[in-house]
A and B are shown apart, each in its own frame.
Chain A
Amino acid sequence: MDMKRESCIFNLDMQFKVVLMGFAVLFSLSAIAQNPVRVGVYGGINLTNVLSTESHSVLEPTPVGPDREGKEYIEWFNSEQMGFQAGLMGLIPITDQISVVPMLLYMQHHFRYDVSQRFTDTLNPDPLVYDQRFRHQLRYLQIPVMLRWDIAPNRFSPFVQAGAYAGFLIDGQKSLDERLLPESQLPQDNNEGFVRAQSGPGDDALQSFDAGMLGGLGVRWRGNILEVGLMVNLRWELTAPVLDSRRYANAEGWATSAMDVYDEFSMQHLEAGVYLLLTPGAGQSSGNWANCSFGSNKKRRRRN
């Protein structure tokens, strides 16, 4: 099994080199661009939605099996689905209004699903309810590249953007909270009564590589040196995160300890963030940063 992992790492290494080469080509071409390249930082939060396409489970109900509906995924707008992202961002202008936006991001995605089972007690009319609550935290290093169109070539402009991303899984953590109570004793608040049963690495059955599409809109304010902006993007993962060959094979992991395996699923993320970009070298010709005025590129060209 380890050998399989090693061969995967080799492939990822090659993929990573290809991506880096692409960036190198882009940046070298941008050197001849009329508008300056801007670099800076980006950070924000994201909400994850999990779309299960094929259900998988260790527990198989027999015809007299407990009432069990499979995993119930928590949807977008829940604090448990919220992670954050931060990293570096670049803006490589192609024309006055069209730019390439490469990023290098640390992404943290959270999601949760619940599993509930009901057991009839023949000696006691009060059935037993067994609830499991699985929380996942996946951390990726992702490289999105988007094509951005600034709607107006002004200091203040809204923009739309779309592109693709590739990511590398850093690690995944998983935890299980559970409760086993007679139905009559279930608390009114569905979040009460759980105790932490287990936590630990949960990435053994996950692909190391992921990729997808992303796109969104935002607004920006641009000066000669500084550009700040706010954007909202939707990410749509296109690769399957789970390795079929390891879904059940990780026998020392969650499959046997908590009788839980991943469904076949894809993730979508709604992210919002702010960025701050600077123009490297801007103002150096004047020799004095204080003399740099915030203005449009058009004005700066006129002064020159």
Chain B
Amino acid sequence: MTFNGWLQIILYSLVILSVTKPLGIFMFRVFEGDRQPLQRFFGPIERLMYRLCGVDPSSEQSWQQYSWALLAFSAFGVLVTYAIERLQHVLPFNPQGLGPVAPDLAFNTAASFTTNTNWQAYSGESTMSYLTQMAGLAWHNFTSAAAGIGVALAISRGLTRRLRPEDPRTIGNFWVDVIRSIVYVLLPICIPLALVLVACGLIQNFAPYVELTTIEGVKQTLAMGPVASQEVIKELGTNGGGFFNANSAHPFESPTPLTNFIEMVLIFAIPAGLTYTFGRMARDQKQGWTLFAAMAVLFLVGVGVAYWAEAGGNPVVNRLAVDQAAGNMEGKEVRFGITNSALFATITTDASCGAVIAMHDSFTPLGGLVPLVNIQLGEVIFGGVGAGMYGILIFALLAVFIAGLMVGRTPEYLGKKIEQREVKLAVFYILIFPAIILGFSGWASVAPYATSSLNNDGPHGLSEILYAFSSGAGNNGSAFAGLNANTLWWNTLLGITMLGGRFLMIVPVLAIAGSLVGKKVVPPSLGTFPTDGVLYVALLVGVVVIVGALTFFPALSLGPIVEHFLARNGKLF
């Protein structure tokens, strides 16, 4: 670990801290303001989209209608992307003449991008045409992020709205939230930043691949494509699906440390900003900063552990005549080095992004434990766009419930009583996640047709399985990528995992929103447990860690933890 390394981490943290408020206020005005910002420019586009789509922006939806709209939209998303993949050979923007994507892989990929996972069982440069990348995949980078923002807004409205008894119990309009996300937030950030990234070296073209001969006479073919436009939204929407197989480690996706820094800021920007938006909606900015603080604590711990582990190098290699001063450089790029690789791995799994600049599979056991645990904690450390916000709010409800049990009072959050129905739904949300991961991982680890895909033996093989299902259910999309996931079984199971991890969790969140929105607001009293301040931050961090740790510790101890001790003793598999 170096002084410069820590400086880079501190600089990054300060930049995120400083974008939180302006972006949070901006998003509050976009989604909750009476008049949207930059109305003169974006207003006509917004209204045109409402007209083309047949949306009445003044109408609102109940939680059931909101869920139905989201599910219907997502179903079309899966179908359209599946169709584009299967038909890409007869569609335009395919200069390499790539053939149709196989049915199981096409299903897996359609589910993956619709659910904001961006798990990639394929290698982009040899499988997907430019049209599939743009219209089949990057389109979802916008819409799935917008849908996530919508769900976060819906539960925030449920918690913060003060309705009169005669008011309808509505939580917003899904279509308005999606369209405003795209028109006011996502596109206006993406267009200029895509050009900045091109200026720094990202490619952006529709050309066929470039054939060349090097000065030593070696033939090389350079994959091309519209990369920059996809790269920006892939990070900003915490999607993570790389244009190329190597994702953001590929020099055409991130050629310099500066592009890497921009991409890292993009990942956390909206999730951090939403905590401020939430504070604004709650009319109490401290509520937002409290959530931010809990996330920041968990983020910094994760970065610290990953950085320390990777900087220490691989103990098994130390007995060879190598100088490991640079740290564990297997699967890492020179321009990024250890600091950025560890930082990026933590960010991408705190958020449900899943982009990578280094191969997590080749991290040291403890360095690889950090991304895995980040995902298993539910990706609430800033989290996915929207998904992190609604995730941490579920934990916030659980935290007041647990505090309520301890002091013997009905728990309240923002003045709304948290009762049986909300707690049941929250527990369903919490339990469905490990049920999918551990259930399917158990199946995979005893089935020869599943284990034959492993790239590593010993405990690391189990880590590859655990990581795959955690990444799928958490809608992350990063991988211990040695696992060959492009088989019928893996494509199918992971496709189901991703759909379950998205929609079986979103619907309970919306149900909670619907059940909270009509509740009376009880004025705070002496017995009210305060949901701001240091004590609550500690409680919230504790609940997140304990729920995650109790659930996954047994599995983790058989994977990365035991591998750590074996590696120290030089055991090889």
Interaction A to B: no
